[in-house]
Structure 1
Amino acid sequence: MNLAFLASHGGSAARHLTGACRAGELDAVPVALISNNSRSPALAWARDAGLRTAHLSGAKYPDPEALDAAILNFLQDVGADLLILSGYMRELGPQVLDAFAGRVLNIHPSLLPRHGGRGMYGDRVHLAVLEAGDSASGATVHLVTSGIDEGPRLAQQEVPVRPGDTLETLKARVQAIEGELMLRAVRELVAELRPIDAPP
């Protein structure tokens, strides 16, 4: 199974999964990374790691349909079988979602369905957890569909919200579990799926 990543900033999930593949902990091959941010550390890291890379953004493709088609063409060209959103801050278009239905994963920094949906990402999620007075938070790996954070949940892990927690302390606690949670979900999905171009 060939893994492709989409990242806007650091790409921590891409780095963790690539390391797992190369350590023999995940039966998959990391092949490519797309970023909408030409200055993202993830893009520089991916080049150094030997992955094929592409900067595909609304600045280069102002027409959303053209951007969607460009992303799909690149993914098909590299032979991607599974897409991992690694802090990707754009919505995927219908062409990519249709071509990779059931094969796009994202990790969200809360216990979905709590604190999900449009506009809920990054620090905003952790602040919402704290403001709600929740006793627990965590992370959720889910399949990506056209609805924001609405796809089927594949894996979820809880962490406590402790008295006196700040944005920084809660964020650090959630981020500490994200890599292994994503790895577990990807490992299970890889075992279930066949490569896209595999004979029936």
Structure 2
Amino acid sequence: MVNIAVLVSGGGTNLQALIDAQQAGGIEDGRLALVVSSNPEAFALIRAQKAGVETAVMRRRDYASAEEYGAELSALLAERQIGLVVLAGFMTVLPDSFCKAYENRIINVHPSLIPSFCGEGFYGLHVHEAALKKGVKVSGATVHFVSGVVDGGPIIAQKAVAVLPDDTPETLQKRVMTEAEWVLLPHAVSDFCAGRLTVDGAVVKVR
């Protein structure tokens, strides 16, 4: 059984999708063991507590450097024997050393079809604003492994979502969430825990 930690900063809608999947038996060989928030006021913490998942708060400003933050987070994850880290609206940039230590064991969901509308500055509504400004007819979501390059890790899965003529950033965001993010993320987490994911043709080993 793979212990999963979910890192959050806000409302926790993707966390809720994982909680719902777990309660429905949809996460094979894995369990939500810890939720870590960079924001003590995040509603995601309440979602976790209601689901009986242990929580912790780690604010970046409480640490002298990103490296110190990463080291403390690593220590917490090691103590809880975490095998998979899921970024679900986590707004703190993790240091390269942390990403390397957890190479191919950190999964993120991004609200666009990478490589479109991704990288530095593309998060939350900004992604959907950029998509609408560009006039694309199709958007979607991408689940990928995290590397030292923002949104640059190996892609696990993608799902396209239609952009409608009367869309606003808010309506497009909601559709991408419900039709893509909340579908892809639980499946990717389950596939990781069951040992079904590959990178460059090699099966990702669950440690």
2:102 and 2:13 mapped to 1: Cα distance?
Answer: 22
Specify every segment of 5 or more residues in structure 2 that has no aligned partner in the other structure, as ranges.
Answer: 196-203
Q: Does 1:187 align with 2:190?
A: yes
Three-state SS of the structure 2 residue aligned to 1:68 is helix
What percent of counterpart residues are identical?
Answer: 37
Q: Deviations over 1:26-73 (max 9, x none)?
A: 121110011110111112322332222211112221322211111111
2:52 and 2:171 mapped to 1: Cα distance?
Answer: 34
2:128–2:169 contact (8 Å) kept in structure 1 = yes
Q: Which amino acid aligns with 1:32?
A: L
Q: Deviations over 1:167-189 (max 9, x none)?
A: 12211111112111111212222
2:66–2:94 contact (8 Å) kept in structure 1 = no
Query: Could you tell me the TM-score, scaled by structure 2's length?
Result: 0.90
Three-state SS of the structure 1 residue aligned to 2:122 is coil
Q: Does 1:2 align with 2:3?
A: yes
Q: Does 1:96 align with 2:98?
A: yes
Q: Does 1:61 align with 2:63?
A: yes
1:102–1:143 contact (8 Å) kept in structure 2 = yes
Q: Does 1:175 align with 2:182?
A: no
Displacement of 1:77 in angstroms is 0.8
Alignment correspondent of 2:198: none
1:132 and 1:170 mapped to 2: Cα distance?
Answer: 14
1:72–1:95 contact (8 Å) kept in structure 2 = no
Displacement of 1:195 in angstroms is 4.2
Three-state SS of the structure 2 residue aligned to 1:76 is helix
Specify every segment of 5 or more residues in structure 1 that has no aligned partner in the other structure, as ranges.
Answer: none
1:47 and 1:194 mapped to 2: Cα distance?
Answer: 30
Three-state SS of the structure 1 residue aligned to 2:62 is coil
Three-state SS of the structure 1 residue aligned to 2:164 is coil
Task: Tell me how large the CA RMSD over aligned residues is.
Answer: 1.4
Candidates 161, 167, 170, aligned match of 1:165: 167
Q: Which amino acid aligns with 1:26?
A: I
Three-state SS of the structure 1 residue aligned to 2:81 is coil
Three-state SS of the structure 1 residue aligned to 2:194 is helix
Alignment correspondent of 1:38: 40
2:33–2:53 contact (8 Å) kept in structure 1 = yes
Query: Could you tell me the TM-score, scaled by structure 1's length?
Result: 0.93
Q: Deviations over 1:81-126 (max 9, x none)?
A: 0011010011112332122110111111111100000000010000
The runs of at least 4 consecutive aligned structure 1 residues that moved more than 4 Å come to: none
Displacement of 1:22 in angstroms is 2.6
1:131 and 1:89 mapped to 2: Cα distance?
Answer: 24
Q: Which amino acid aligns with 1:30?
A: L
Q: How many pairs does the alignment contain? A: 196
Three-state SS of the structure 2 residue aligned to 1:141 is strand
Three-state SS of the structure 2 residue aligned to 1:81 is strand
Alignment correspondent of 2:135: 133
1:29 and 1:171 mapped to 2: Cα distance?
Answer: 28
Q: Which amino acid aligns with 1:107?
A: V
2:49–2:55 contact (8 Å) kept in structure 1 = yes
